[in-house]
Structure 1
Amino acid sequence: MTTITTRTVEYPADGLTMIGYLALPAGVDRRPAVLLGPEGMGLSDVERRRADALAELGYVTLAFDLHGGRYLGDPEEMLARCMPLLADSDRMRRIGHAALDELRTEPRTDPDRIAAIGYGTGGAIALELGRGGVNLRAIGTVNATTTGRPGEAARIRCPVWAGVGSEDPIMPPAQRNAFTAEMQAAGVDWRLAIYGGALHAFHHPPVDHPVVPGVGYHPQHAQRAWRDVVDLLAECLPVTEDLGA
């Protein structure tokens, strides 16, 4: 297994001191980078393990924070913070830009080759970065077929992949359809994967606290969605460019 190094990083955003998790591949050369956003509960070991896995594949990866170093295991507290956030495109972009700026300060990050991958609220932030015109190589979201302000999807300059469970009541068919219509009208290179029988947050292993209704883990589809994310990165952000392959 490739040796990686990890550390926490602090940066200001949304009036808070965010505590992100940076995972670096072996070596000293510049590499393509991934901004990794968590579900609404916030940064946890689930995202840290994903960051580690991406670093092992050769990507500089920053798993960003949403709540100033806190993990919101109380569904009511999580919704009270995330629902206003999800309704405010500019605020989401500011959180995303702060994390992106932190990722770009890492000397091993190739600033011209960055992708944004996110789950739930983190995925909505990734999409808003694209709608804001950020130069990304790819955007991937799971459980985040969110729409933006009219016309702004035309600023997205990279392929967009989205994955969602067929039985997700939080991102139901009407929401999925609105998202794909937005992408299509904007001329975005988009893909939507619907995982049959899966609920919201189907990718997230079970947690030891209450969750909002409609959430459920689906091990098979969790693995498939992860492979789909890795395939998106391999297509749009190949590490081999840095390795001379």
Structure 2
Amino acid sequence: MATVTTRTVEYPADGLTMIGHLALPAGVERRPAVLIGPEGLGLSDVERRRADALAELGYVALAFDIHGGRYLGDPQEMLARCMPLLADPDRMRGIGHAALDVLRAEPRADPGRIAAIGYGTGGAIALELGRDGVDLRAIGTVNAVTTGRPGEAARIRCPVWAGVGSEDPIMPPAQRDAFTAEMQAADVDWRLVVYGGALHAFHHPPVDHAVVSGVGHHPRHAQRAWRDIVDLLAECLPISG
């Protein structure tokens, strides 16, 4: 297995000092790069391991922070911070751009070949970067079929892949339909995968604290969703070329 180098990076965003996790592949040459946004709980070892896994595949990967170094294991505290954030596209974009600036500044990262993937709140941030017209090669989200301000999806310049559980009460069928209608009206190259029987955050391993209703791990679909994201990156952001 190729040697992966990791380090913590601190940067300002949303009035906080964010603490991200940067993973670099072996070698010295520039590589395509990926932003990874966390669930509303905040950056955890789950996203850090995903950044490391992408670095093993040859990508520069930054798992970015959304809560100033905190992990919000209390569901009420998490909702109190995330709901206003999700209702404010400009705040989400600010958090995303700050992380993007860190990634672009990394000498190993090719600033012209970047993708953004994310889970829940982090996925919504990835979508807002696209709606802000950022030059991304791909956007991938799980649990985040969020819609934006009218007309702004037309600024998305890359393929969009979204995955959601069929039984997710937080992203129900009406929300999925609104998202796909927005993508279609904007002439985006979009795909939606509905994972049968899965709840919200089905990709996330079980946690040892309380969670909001409708959350549940689905090991088989978690593996499938990760493979789908890796395939998206292989198609839109190949390591060579």
TM-score between the two structures when normalised by the length of structure 1:
0.98
1:227 and 2:220 correspond: no
- Partners of 1:93 and 1:49 lie apart in 2 by 24
Instruction: Name stretches of at least 5 consecutive residues in structure 1 with no aligned partner.
Output: none
- Partners of 2:166 and 2:240 lie apart in 1 by 35
1:113 and 2:113 correspond: yes
Q: Deviations over 1:197-231 (max 9, x none)?
A: 00000000000000000000000000000000000
Q: Which amino acid aligns with 2:46?
A: V
- Partner in structure 1 of residue 85 of structure 2: 85
- SS for the counterpart of 2:115 is strand
- Partner in structure 2 of residue 132 of structure 1: 132
- SS for the counterpart of 1:113 is strand
Q: Which amino acid aligns with 1:152?
A: E
Report the count of equivalent residues: 241
Q: Which amino acid aligns with 1:34?
A: V
- Partner in structure 2 of residue 208 of structure 1: 208
- Partner in structure 1 of residue 62 of structure 2: 62
1:158 and 2:194 correspond: no
Q: Which amino acid aligns with 1:64?
A: F
Shift of residue 240, structure 1, vs aligned partner: 2.3
TM-score between the two structures when normalised by the length of structure 2:
1.00
- Partner in structure 1 of residue 171 of structure 2: 171
- Partner in structure 1 of residue 16 of structure 2: 16
CA RMSD across the alignment:
0.3
- Partners of 2:240 and 2:108 lie apart in 1 by 15
- Partners of 1:226 and 1:61 lie apart in 2 by 15
Q: Which amino acid aligns with 1:98?
A: A
- Partners of 2:4 and 2:239 lie apart in 1 by 15
Deviating beyond 6 angstroms after TM superposition, the runs of 4 or more aligned structure 1 residues are: none
Shift of residue 163, structure 1, vs aligned partner: 0.1
- SS for the counterpart of 1:240 is coil
Taking only the aligned residue pairs, the percentage that are identical comes to 88
- Partners of 1:240 and 1:18 lie apart in 2 by 31
- Partners of 1:60 and 1:21 lie apart in 2 by 11
Q: Which amino acid aligns with 2:31?
A: R
- SS for the counterpart of 1:53 is helix
- SS for the counterpart of 1:214 is coil
- Partner in structure 1 of residue 51 of structure 2: 51
- Partner in structure 1 of residue 33 of structure 2: 33
Shift of residue 110, structure 1, vs aligned partner: 0.2
Q: Which amino acid aligns with 2:174?
A: A
- SS for the counterpart of 1:40 is coil
Q: Deviations over 1:27-85 (max 9, x none)?
A: 00000000000000000000000000000000000000000000000000000000000
- Partners of 1:92 and 1:68 lie apart in 2 by 14
Q: Which amino acid aligns with 1:123?
A: G
Q: Deviations over 1:129-188 (max 9, x none)?
A: 000000000000000000000000000000000000000000000000000000000000
